[in-house]
Amino acid sequence: MGLMSLINRRAPLLSIVSISFVALVLIYNYNANKDNILSASPCTTQNRQHTRNTAQLISENPFLNARVPSEKPGSASISLSTSSRKTYAHIIQETPPNAGPEQGFDLEYLDQEVQKAMETKKAAIRFLSSPIINQHNLMYLVGREQKCTNMTPEVIITVPSAWSNFEKRQKVRDGTQGKYVRAHSQNALLLFFVGLPPAGIGKNKTQKWAKLQEESEKYADVVIAYFEDKYRNILFKHLSMLQWVINFCPKAKFVLRTDDDVGVMIDSMLVSLRRHSDEWQNFILGKQRVGDAPSRREDQPRYYLSKEEYEPDIFPPFVLGGTIGYPVSTVKLLYEAARRTKSVWLDDVFITGICATAMGIPTFNERSFQFAH
């Protein structure tokens, strides 16, 4: 397969520059100019803390040693570091169609892709330089912070669950997710994320709350966060999962989010994640939706969004929350994007659609992530 066909098929160079190099190297540029940014920001303390947090992302980026194409891409060449060779393998092995045997890696035929990548880079700089408008510093009543102390899992399976869904959580433990974790005890982790019992739920609240505490102690796999556990707070639950991974298990490789009432194929999902990670630094896999419109019907409140909450008439492409897969590097970027974007309570739309679009992170409709409740 020629190099041009590879580019037309998936544009691997664009994905590398516009996602990995773009979102992370750009944070480096932002960090290098932080004094100018902070002086103009109304959130000085918050942004200084963010600068310290995001600086850690830079040291893990394998593309920092790759030289960016010069201002004349037609005559530029790329110097590839050893750490970049895995991702650039298809480029190293092939000769561009307009390059002679003695020529280097000529980028003239990639001019359009390079220009697109540079525009994405500029957009990411502007976005990450904007002030934090949402703290999203969620607290945990039961945090399970020690879970990754003696292990670095390849995958963390995070399951959002209503606090009183005792039977559904047990079904997950006995099902595909639980079996996979037990079979790969040093390489996989399963955690359920719940909130606090909402007010006014009846006289059985005390008994159910005691039952949840007993379940948490018995299985040591339930994280309880400080927010009211009701449907329109599902965004807080999603953010509590992202935040937990960043704070307590940042060296894991992948995160799989699965609802507590869906059947999943963990092995196949991981195969898809590994395959995409060979080509993309950041991405989101799931059951993709394209062209969906927000519900404006007040008589159907389950998914209702007013114009004040979300003004556009079409959502950006996103993946449904039943099953979502992403690398941990993507988790970190999505969380930072969520802190700088007006929130929409529909968590899958907000995180995998609005925030992913702002960061230039692609979503993929993956067969192994299809599900039914």
Both tokens assigned to 260:
């507590």
Both tokens assigned to 222:
């339930």
pLDDT in tens, 123-145: 777 888 889 999 888 999 999 99
Give me the mean pLDDT over the 32-53 stretch.
Answer: 40
pLDDT of residue 108: 60
User: HEC profile for 296-350?
Assistant: CCCCCHHHECCCCCCCCCCCCCEEEEEEEEEEHHHHHHHHHHHCCCCCCCCHHHH
Tell me the average pLDDT of the chain: 77
**Residues 105, 107, 112: CA angle, nearest 5 degrees:** 155
- Decide if pLDDT at 229 tops 80: yes
- Separation of alpha carbons 131 and 341, rounded Å: 10
**Inter-axis angle of helices 176-183 and 166-174, nearest 10:** 50
**Inter-axis angle of helices 166-174 and 205-219, nearest 10:** 20
pLDDT of residue 351: 98
pLDDT of residue 242: 97
Q: What are phi and psi of 140, to 5 degrees?
A: -120, 130
pLDDT in tens, 259-307: 999 999 999 999 999 999 999 989 999 999 999 999 998 888 888 999 9
pLDDT in tens, 314-328: 999 999 999 999 999
pLDDT in tens, 71-95: 333 323 222 222 233 333 333 333 4
Q: Please report the domains of the chain, with CATH numbers, ordered by start residue.
A: 3-128 (no CATH), 141-369 (3.90.550)
Q: Which of these, 7, 212, 195, lies nearest to 91 by C-alpha position?
A: 7
Q: What pTM was estimated for this model as a whole? A: 0.72
